[in-house]
Amino acid sequence: MKVSQALIDNAKKYSQKPAIIFQDKPISFLQLKDSVFKLAQSFSGLGLKKSDKIAIYLPNCPQYFYSYLAVWSCGLTAVPLDFMLTEEEIISCLRHSEAKIIIMQPKSNISIENIRSNCPQLKEPIVSKEKTSGYLSLEKLIDKEKPLCPDVIIHPKDCAAIFYTSGSTGRPKGVLTNYLQIEAPAKAMVYFSGLNYKDISLCALPLSHLGGLVFVQGLVYLGSKVILMERFIP
């Protein structure tokens, strides 16, 4: 699946239709495409090149969608990290994956400076939702660019994401997912359940997990609407 082309197609077909509804606020397919392409342009401006890794440490929020889709529009590799990970676990995953950028929402028990000093390959932390002096703002990176589609050739076997296991028998292990595989779950949903662009899904799973990723894939591949919960509350 070429994500950038799917975003363009959805923005044409469903321009004002809500793609995501988060905390009762709708984001249209046109707004989604524009935000993703603006962020993708910012990635290029930071000197990131195809196959570079970008870690994402956020709770469920629209910015998670923007980050995933901007990474894939540029032919980069996403490294989603569970928002409940400890500082030590984050550092371990960043060092192992050799991520050059981390997009994160600050937490009181997580030191951005400690992460930066312990990950020499890390070029720049990007902070979302909060003003943190000395660090790039995700929202400002999106606002300052034009929504231009990245010009990059992506091959099916290029690495699209590295998901980390729970680490129940040792340190978390990285599981590689290529660009051909990221469309498979959406195709399976169409085949087995007949889901289509008219459907609405409720995402209560973490977007850092493969289960949550299915909702991102369905939105892009099917043009379906996602109601996004920040976290699951029984």
End-to-end Cα, the chain, rounded Å: 34
Helix axis angle for 210-222 and 3-13, nearest 10°, is 50
Per-residue pLDDT, 220: 94
Long-range contacts of 146-149 (CB under 8 A, 24+ apart): 146/38, 146/41, 147/33, 147/34, 147/35, 147/37, 147/38, 147/41, 148/37, 148/41, 149/4, 149/8, 149/37, 149/40, 149/73
- 220 vs 14: CA distance, rounded Å: 12
Please check whether residue 234 lies inside any domain of the structure.
no
Place of tokens 């589609």: 149
Per-residue pLDDT, 207: 95
- Mind listing the pLDDT tens digit of every residue in the chain (234 residues)? 689 999 999 999 999 999 999 999 999 999 999 999 999 999 999 999 999 999 999 999 999 999 999 999 999 999 999 999 999 999 999 999 999 999 999 898 999 999 999 999 999 899 998 777 778 999 999 999 999 999 999 999 999 999 998 777 777 789 999 999 988 888 888 899 888 999 999 999 999 998 899 999 999 999 999 999 998 878
Tokens of 78: 């996403």
83: CATH: 3.40.50.12780
Please check whether residue 232 lies inside any domain of the structure.
no
Show Cβ contacts of residue 28 under 8 Å, excluding neighbours closer than 6 positions: 14, 15, 16, 17, 18, 19
Please check whether residue 193 lies inside any domain of the structure.
yes
Full residue range of the structural domain in which residue 8 is found: 3-227
User: Domains in the chain: how many in total?
Assistant: 1
Per-residue pLDDT, 1: 66
pTM, entire model: 0.94
- 17 vs 177: CA distance, rounded Å: 30
Per-residue pLDDT, 161: 96
Indicate the pairing of strand 124-127 with strand 159-164: unpaired
Show Cβ contacts of residue 84 under 8 Å, excluding neighbours closer than 6 positions: none
Sign of CA dihedral 95, 97, 101, 105: negative
Please check whether residue 233 lies inside any domain of the structure.
no
